[in-house]
Structure 1
Amino acid sequence: MSVGHILYILVPIFFVIILGWLAGHNKSFDASSSKALNALVTRFALPAHLFIGITTTNRRALIEQWTFLLALFIGIVGFFVALLLLSRFARKQSMKDAAMFALNSAQPTFAFMGIPVLGAIYGSSAVAIPIALTGIVVNAVLDPAATIIATVASRNSGKERKGPLGRLIWDSILHGLKEPLALVPLVGVILTLFGFQSPDLLSKSLNQIGDITSGAALFAVGVTIGVRNISFSVSAFAIALLKTIVQPLLMLLIAYLCGLSSADTVKAVLLVSFPGSAVAAMIATRFESLESETASSFVISAVISLVTLPVLISLLM
């Protein structure tokens, strides 16, 4: 792919992000309204878009995506586990801090940049399933796992009310599955496997909200960056570099070992190469762990992606 074509894809995307940053930086949006904008995308627009994308897909094509799901699981959850162990035993961090460091290094902002970036390359309908599978892995597995580990660590240090561990695990998994970005795609996958196909009227109805996904998601990313303060700490830079450089390179290796097609390899690598997730940073804030570092890493990784995304696209395509 030529440099001109890459710029043609990315310039409009980063233009909307910068527009959102200006809105946040100039106080047109504050932290509260930023959360509301994020909720619009993650709870309504994107789930509606993904549901239609999945339920208008052939069942056989969906079944054939199992190797893609496996690669995503290893590249995201496996990466989280490896960083968790390294942070805990090599860097001697507490288990809670290690979990938050690993979570923010492994979770991409796929929900906001997946459709705009991959959709510009392959078409929005062709990337609905890969993004939906990423949502299931992140919201139903990664976030609950990090939450369970951090809660147990806090409980053992006396900062959380004690209770049955089994109940804690079950509640965390249920909480993850209740998130629209996990539940709606999962329901869509199950329905499609049973032969359901969205009728035209349902598709048109859901597309009324789903069609705003790209612009609203990119603007929300910019606003989220604009309302945050940046701390240029070693940990913040480490998280950002792991997220935007190390994880995509490892995913490239994983995709090769899993035998993914060239198109699926590009999708898998780009899905994990997006900046760190604001949701992961919010989880760190909830546990009062690495709050400044994780919030700053989200901003730093977004800036780094201005360079890494064009480079990755040029190398992979």
Structure 2
Amino acid sequence: MLDTILNGLLPVAFVIVLGWFAGRIGLLKHDDAGVLATLVIRFALPFALFEGAVKTSPDKLHNVGFALCLTLGLMGTYVIALGVGRFVFRHDLRTATMQALVCAFPDMAYFGAPILAAMFGAEGFLAVLVGNLITSILMLPLTIVLTQLGTQGQTGGEQTSIVRVFGQSIARAVINPIVWLPILGMVLSFSHVTLPGPVLNSIELIAKAAGGTSLFALGLMLYGERFMINANVLTNLGIKNFLQPGLMALGAVLFGVTGQPAHQAVITGAVPTATAAAMFALKNKTYTADATATILISTILGVVTEGLLIAYFF
């Protein structure tokens, strides 16, 4: 059991600390993380998800219960956090939306993918693949729509059609390689198409860069962030690190998901908040301090909660 936990978490913690240390001693700047993030999000991770989809049998991809389980965990957390931000903390719509994103958007690309790959092999990317589709097609467009409505409500500007804003967000998501490459991989898997060895080896070469590079970038991003605790941050940690995996477990029971897919869903739910949530907050000029503090503490706490889950499941 100890070997399983160390194999899953020690490499993750080591590379995150390595990225943080690179920023600490000045070898790299905090802003350099953006270049590494672009490499991961635009190239390495999309091809890793593509590879995972191509190598996964169609019967495992065609798991509606698993998709519904992840949808409940991700979007259920989003709705709950949005309600908490709006009615408990009395935030305006834009700020409450950012709090919802911070609580519901797991760091599947940077933190989750390496752990799932270590625990479940290539099939571990299935949760990242499906979860990425849910966040890209539902969560992020909804966030854009709500922040747009919140901005219009504050400025009294001309009302933009919700359908138009949502449609534009979906269109941007669909042409993103992190969306269409995994879908292409699923299509090839369902079509029983086997790619030639040299092609798979070429894809694997860039796909292997996803895990280590993403974790290093995460550590570099976290360098210099403030360690701050307040009611908002504590609430966010409770919702993200504990409520979301609980909803994933509930979804597994409700939709009949068992075995490794159920374990993948719960482990994905316990993944800390995605750094992209802070980027959204920064772009919208609201909730930035609470978002970055939540990400920092959630990442530290995530190492502990993931270790406990791995010990329980394995």
Specify if TM > 0.5: yes
**2:305 counterpart of 1:312:** no
Aligned to 1:53: 52
Whole-angstrom CA distance in 2 between matches of 1:46 and 1:156: 37
Aligned to 2:72: 74
1:98 to 85, 96, 109: 96
Task: State the one-letter code of the partner of 1:48.
Answer: F
Provide structure 1 residue ranges, at least 5 long, that are not aligned to the other structure.
none
CA-CA distance at 1:185 after TM superposition? 1.4
After superposition, the C-alpha distances for 1:146-175 in whole angstroms (9 at most, x for unaligned) are: 111111111121176643333212112222
Per mean C-alpha deviation after superposition, the further-off stretch among 49-58 and 291-300 is 49-58
After superposition, the C-alpha distances for 1:167-196 in whole angstroms (9 at most, x for unaligned) are: 212112222223322222123223433443
Whole-angstrom CA distance in 2 between matches of 1:159 and 1:173: 25
Aligned to 1:30: 29
Whole-angstrom CA distance in 2 between matches of 1:234 and 1:23: 32
Q: Is the 8 A contact 1:141 1:176 kept in 2?
A: no
Whole-angstrom CA distance in 1 between matches of 2:49 and 2:131: 11
Per mean C-alpha deviation after superposition, the further-off stretch among 46-55 and 27-36 is 27-36
Whole-angstrom CA distance in 1 between matches of 2:278 and 2:8: 28
Task: State the one-letter code of the partner of 1:293.
Answer: D
Whole-angstrom CA distance in 1 between matches of 2:306 and 2:55: 29
TM-score by length of 2: 0.93
Aligned to 2:145: 148
Aligned to 2:267: 270
Aligned to 2:180: 183
Q: Is the 8 A contact 2:103 2:273 kept in 1?
A: yes
Whole-angstrom CA distance in 1 between matches of 2:90 and 2:125: 40
Whole-angstrom CA distance in 2 between matches of 1:4 and 1:289: 42
Q: What aligned pairs does 1:1-317 form with structure 2 within 5 A after superposition?
A: 2-63=1-62, 65-123=63-121, 125-158=122-155, 162-317=159-314
Whole-angstrom CA distance in 1 between matches of 2:93 and 2:239: 19
Whole-angstrom CA distance in 2 between matches of 1:237 and 1:70: 28
Task: State the one-letter code of the partner of 1:81.
Answer: V
After superposition, the C-alpha distances for 1:194-234 in whole angstroms (9 at most, x for unaligned) are: 44333323212211211112211211111111143333332
Whole-angstrom CA distance in 2 between matches of 1:80 and 1:25: 34
RMSD: 1.9
Matched residue SS, 1:157: helix
After superposition, the C-alpha distances for 1:284-307 in whole angstroms (9 at most, x for unaligned) are: 111111011001110010111122
TM-score by length of 1: 0.92
CA-CA distance at 1:114 after TM superposition? 2.5
Whole-angstrom CA distance in 1 between matches of 2:147 and 2:188: 34
Whole-angstrom CA distance in 1 between matches of 2:135 and 2:52: 19
Provide structure 2 residue ranges, at least 5 long, that are not aligned to the other structure.
none
Q: Is the 8 A contact 2:76 2:247 kept in 1?
A: no
Matched residue SS, 1:259: coil
After superposition, the C-alpha distances for 1:51-99 in whole angstroms (9 at most, x for unaligned) are: 1221233323321x22111100110012101221232133322111111
